[in-house]
Structure 1
């Protein structure tokens, strides 16, 4: 009896230490993203009239903060309201960047190219976040550039509430947006194109979205206006997918819809929620179809409610999406902007967001989280950040492998030569054309098939136009090290071992 009691106590102690948790304490792969919102200067820049140096410094503060917290992706809003954070033939420069719409920034470099590179050198993916259909943020029309689509193509625009929207029912609007995506993907080294939840606008009581003429012109015989509107969004998603893949097949396409597809009160397939609006019925978006058709590479539903909120429980919604996921990577969009800033007092609990991360970890179908938005964890919530870091983000993690990788094979680059200076190791390879990052691990004399994330010493961005990888000696073990590569699809190559002591100067 005494032996049985001792065994029981030991099992309870082990369980309390997390030994029997269903998730890894240090997962090798996990998406850890953060949205950087630029519309009305939510996160960055602080002000469109700030100097270039201040705007750069403020952007780097965000990157450095999240690099320290072991995040591996930034989702940066580069089109907020018919504008652009880069030089475009199809949209004026954003006033949120330059202070005056259409005025070029006074930077000494290409803004977006610099932003992407600064993310990459910190080991982060850069996802270019576009808002397809919001044309203006308010009714302050005098601030618009004369080249804004509101001025040049008023026939594309629908006024609704206090904003203006592109009419999703017009083929020329979708074609215009395809050109925007084509320009962006062709010109910049982005890892993904990202849409948020704004398709048709959220319903405003007694307001009418006046697209009746487009409906009469383009709807199929017998098609209801609701089904026609959904078909318009489907066409946008399909066309965007095809445009991206025709240019750079490895660039991902991700969408972050509103968290509730349907309530089960209107459809038995819906979630056990009582959301006032739903993504299918009010925003006319059908993410289930997009996944089934293979039009998107990842989905990140915005589940911005607390764990046990009666009308829309985070726990229940995450469970619903995990059971309705088809052949895509699935991430959870979390809302730390609500911490100590919401009528739902659950957000006063330091463990609310950590508990949501744990739920995602415990759910096999989910591969990570995205936080909205950048500033929410950078001020006044140090205790939450520390808690998240110690319990969940203490070690880095690689990004999930893209769903596109199954149709692609990248060969391990061949090591041709090694040398070193007093401060760095120099490795020469035959070809790094499809490589994004090099990973250096602590190793023994024998090569392993794969290395634990705890063995990772450094992740370094690789210029794929070069054949050389340089790494500071301080980042390496004095003797045996292993190097692997992540290709543009996120797949890790076979390890190569080298003995640092045998590398000559």
Structure 2
């Protein structure tokens, strides 16, 4: 039975590790305490029917995993370069826990930020600040990698490649930090690098944009040549350009824009198919006069170049912002409702995890009751190159006393990552993935590759249907059982 492929929606949340914003609560906590806290966070968002977490694994030239290219993060271990006191690999463990809850794990990297502050005595001797001081530019209260140095690009590509090869991540994710946000009366000192590497009389601004483009293109090629099913997504600042600078820009008067200030050009990335999704950070209220959420959602949807657009929302501003619109607990509800009306928008992501988890739980519950009543699958991605069609798998429904389970007599194609079980009272309801269809998404690991027990809330259904999701998120035809 074919199922409605359109009923999909990205529901993601950023989990910021830098400065211990969301997790871990402290780098000095035991690993067992950190695990307990991470599971509590995952369970909270699972019950809200989210389907993806975007977890920061590189915050400032560091790593939340054993790396040949960066020291352990102090936000995980309390001291940069110190190993966590466990034999477990923290990143492998986090990915597994996420998948066991039927959610995607997007590994979030901050590429160019080398330090979070100027306290270089806290850095590991193996940090690039000491290994490659010629790569560093001091600007404001931080050090940054110089994006114009070819060896910097090569190093960052290797950082990404290491994680793609060694971990079962669903996506590589970059945030909005490319060239740094401007600091008044300070100059980003890359003039010497510009003179050395510019080509064909390039202007400084165009050369900087080209440096960022080169990194994005190289990361894309590295991901897809090694694991073509791993997505690459970027979450840029919410405004590309204001219309007073470019007639094709948005009707906004933002004080910062991607193109002119951060030297990031998301339209080029989308045109060239270097990314699979874009999450513009549209962190303003619906009618904010300088940059309205309403205007920007519509603008990005229109300028998507066949790239999936998810809206980046800002629950961290609720009841904590000079814009009084954020005092309305329904502001996020209005934004999500609006996104659902705009063709070309495929979901939302929220910054950040503690904003719903530690506070504003009323807003989170409203989001669930109005928009996320039931679970849903995240969007699928078509392979860029030919890949074999989905294979059929033999499936049986087995009753054993008061319990039921799905049984697989034969081996399952290793390209299948999840099994999805639907339960409903009629086939049309299941086929359309109606809201009263129960969805159970199960990670296919060693424990579940032979059989999957049905969840209790499926027992009273008249029909059970099972499908498989491959690593691209493509879903097989459903095998249907009538419960008698």
Q: TM-score, normalised by structure 1?
A: 0.90
Asked if the contact 1:329/1:403 (under 8 Å) is kept, the reply is: no
Displacement after TM superposition at 1:430 (Å): 3.4
Per-residue Cα deviation, 1:340-374 (whole angstroms, up to 9, x for no partner) = 00010000001100000011100011000000000
The 3-state SS of whatever aligns with 1:437 is strand
Counterpart check, 1:491 vs 2:471: no
Once residues 407 and 340 of structure 1 are traced to their aligned partners in structure 2, the CA distance between those partners, rounded to angstroms, is: 49
The aligned runs of 1:168-317 (5 Å cut-off) are 168-317=147-296
Q: Which runs of 4+ in 1 moved over 6 A?
A: 444-449
* Cα drift, residue 477 of structure 1: 3.2
Which residue is 2:440 aligned to?
458
Q: State whether residues 205 and 263 of structure 2, in contact with CA within 8 Å, keep that contact through their aligned partners in structure 1.
A: yes
Gaps of 5+ in 2: 1-5
Greater alpha carbon shift after TM alignment, 414-423 vs 242-251? 414-423
Q: 2:110 matched to which residue of 1? A: 131
When residues 194 and 373 of structure 1 are mapped into structure 2, their CA distance, relative to the original with a 3 A threshold, is same
The 1-side partners of 2:86 and 2:102 are apart by 24
SS at match of 1:281: helix
Query: What does the per-residue CA deviation read over 1:373-398, in whole Å, with 9 as the maximum and x for residues that have no partner?
Result: 00001133122122111111111111
Task: Give the equivalent residue in structure 2 for 1:397.
Answer: 376
Q: Deviations over 1:250-308 (max 9, x none)?
A: 00000000001111111111111111111001100000010000000000000000010
| One of 104, 108, 111 as aligned partner of 2:90 | 111
Is 1:338 matched with 2:320? no
| Aligned counterpart, 1:88 | 67
Counterparts in 2 of 1:214 and 1:344: CA distance versus 1, 3 Å: same
1:418 CA displacement: 5.7
Cα distance in 1 for partners of 2:209, 2:425 equals: 56
Which stretch of structure 1 is more off in the superposition, 329-338 or 371-380? 371-380
Range 325-334 or range 408-417, more displaced: 408-417
- 5+ residue gaps, structure 1, are 1-26
Contact 1:447 1:495 in 2 (8 A): no
Q: Report the counterpart of residue 427 of structure 1 in structure 2.
A: 407
- Provide closer, same or farther for how the CA distance between residues 455 and 416 of structure 1 changes in structure 2, counting only shifts above 3 A: closer
Query: Per the alignment, in what secondary structure is the counterpart of residue 420 of structure 2?
Result: strand
8 Å CA contact 1:434, 1:464 repeated in 2: no
**Residues 449 and 57 of structure 1: is their aligned pair in 2 closer, same or farther, counting only changes over 3 Å?**
closer
Q: Who wins on radius of gyration, i.e. which is larger?
A: 1
Given candidates 354, 362, 367, the residue that maps to 2:341 is: 362
Task: State the Cα deviation string for residues 69-128 of structure 1 (Å, max 9, x = none).
Answer: 100000000000000000000000000000000111112411001101111111110000
